[in-house]
Amino acid sequence: MNIRRSDIVFFFALLLGLYVAWIARDVLLLIYVSALFAVVISPAIRFVQRRHIGSWHPGRATAIVFIIISGLVLLGLVVGFALPPVFRDLQALSVAWPKRAAALADRFQRLPVVSRVDAAALQQQLTAAAGGVIGIFKGIAGGLFWFFSWLILTGYFIIDGDRAFRWFVLLFPIRTRVRLEPTLMRAEARVRHWLVGQGALMLILGCISLLVFWILKIKYFYALAVFAGLANIVPIIGPLASVTLAAMVASFDSWTKLLGVLIFYFIYQQVENAFLTPRIMKSTVDLPPLAVIVALALGGALAGVLGALVAVPTAALVAVFVDEYLINPHREPPAAKAEAGAA
């Protein structure tokens, strides 16, 4: 009777926990993403800590500050070299804007598709869309708040991650802990490799964009290529922002350049999604190409852009636990092997 009563209590407690987790799913997702990125960034922190000047070794806080300053300096160099010519061209564009706008409007009106568009209906749609501007600004404000919250939480996980890991492991009984701790360490090492694969994809897109934009003679091709490479870390939104920006710049010169940009992005996205991403993630995260594609689709469906961003490292994490507890449930933990060998 007592066992049956405890099972009933556990069942309702589980339902209550799932209900609370569903209500707080956005916060839990923020915590999970912060912890995941802290795991990915931690090797860079340890790399800086291993450097030394004479007998002095930087501490964890010093290493974090050094990486932040290095990132800001790199960003400043990119902005310093890329923005001045952009600003000069924007100033020239503002002077010549009336003529360019008239030419673009005339060119646009000559398109066969545009002649079939109902101008009154289009104006009505634009008026309705203008009413959603406030909602757009609210979304941007919410995104900025989420970003800074993620930044702060990631910093805390980096600084105090080891203590949080030990505390989490101590929640389990010793018999479970012997197997869980090495499993988590293996999962951590596997998740870190995701950043290597993602960095390779960003570098490939940046280099190819630089070459294609240079061949097409698009203005600010270097800045557009850098932006395309950096934005590629964010699935869906990153490539969409890149192609929109490049298309806007190309459209001021000619329809041929605009068409060239659109064709390039269309072909590259097909190659990246079907060939590059599955194979690069296979070699770095050790996941089959089909698993990578399914993970990206499920992540995007469950949590949108953010879900797609963390889908591959999450799949690597799940794969380690499936291998340890489902495929090889009777495998002897490394700690038990070491104890047996010592005996």
Q: Is the pLDDT of residue 135 over 60?
A: no
Cβ burial of 198 (10 Å; 0-12, 13-18, 19+) is buried
Q: Is the pLDDT of residue 211 over 90?
A: yes
What is the per-residue pLDDT for 127? 54
Q: Is the pLDDT of residue 118 over 60?
A: no
Ranges 5-9, 61-65, 117-121, 215-219, most confident? 215-219
Name the pLDDT band for 133 (thresholds 50, 70, 90): very low
**What is the average pLDDT across 42-68?**
77
What is the per-residue pLDDT for 220? 78
Name which residue leads in pLDDT, 126 or 44. Answer: 44
Q: Is the pLDDT of residue 340 over 50?
A: no
236 Cβ contact partners less than 8 Å away, ≥ 6 residues apart: 300, 305, 308
Q: Is the pLDDT of residue 130 over 50?
A: no
Proportion of the chain above pLDDT 70, given as a percent:
75
Q: Which two tokens stand for residue 24?
A: 């707080």
What is the per-residue pLDDT for 224? 84
Full DSSP string of 240-308: HHHHHHHHHHHHTT-HHHHHHHHHHHHHHHHHIIIIIHHHHHHHHH---HHHHHHHHHHHHHHHHHHHH
Length of the chain: 343
What is the per-residue pLDDT for 150? 81
Q: Are 298 and 311 in contact (CB under 8 A)?
A: yes
- What are 151-168's pLDDT values in tens digits? 788 878 877 777 888 888
Name which residue leads in pLDDT, 208 or 327. Answer: 208
- What are 262-315's pLDDT values in tens digits? 999 999 988 888 888 888 887 888 888 778 888 888 888 887 777 877 888 888
Q: Is the pLDDT of residue 112 over 50?
A: yes
- What are 225-261's pLDDT values in tens digits? 888 888 888 777 788 888 888 888 888 778 888 899 9
Q: Which two tokens stand for residue 314?
A: 């999450």
What is the per-residue pLDDT for 204? 92
Name which residue leads in pLDDT, 331 or 270. Answer: 270
Q: Lowest-confidence range among 2-6, 29-33, 273-277, 311-315?
A: 2-6
- Look over the chain and give the mean of its residue pLDDT values, rounded to a whole number: 76
What is the per-residue pLDDT for 126? 46
Q: Is the pLDDT of residue 213 over 80?
A: yes
Residue ranges of the domains in the chain? 26-51+59-89+145-171, 192-343
- What are 136-150's pLDDT values in tens digits? 545 556 667 777 888
**What is the average pLDDT across 208-233?**
86
Q: Is the pLDDT of residue 317 over 80?
A: yes
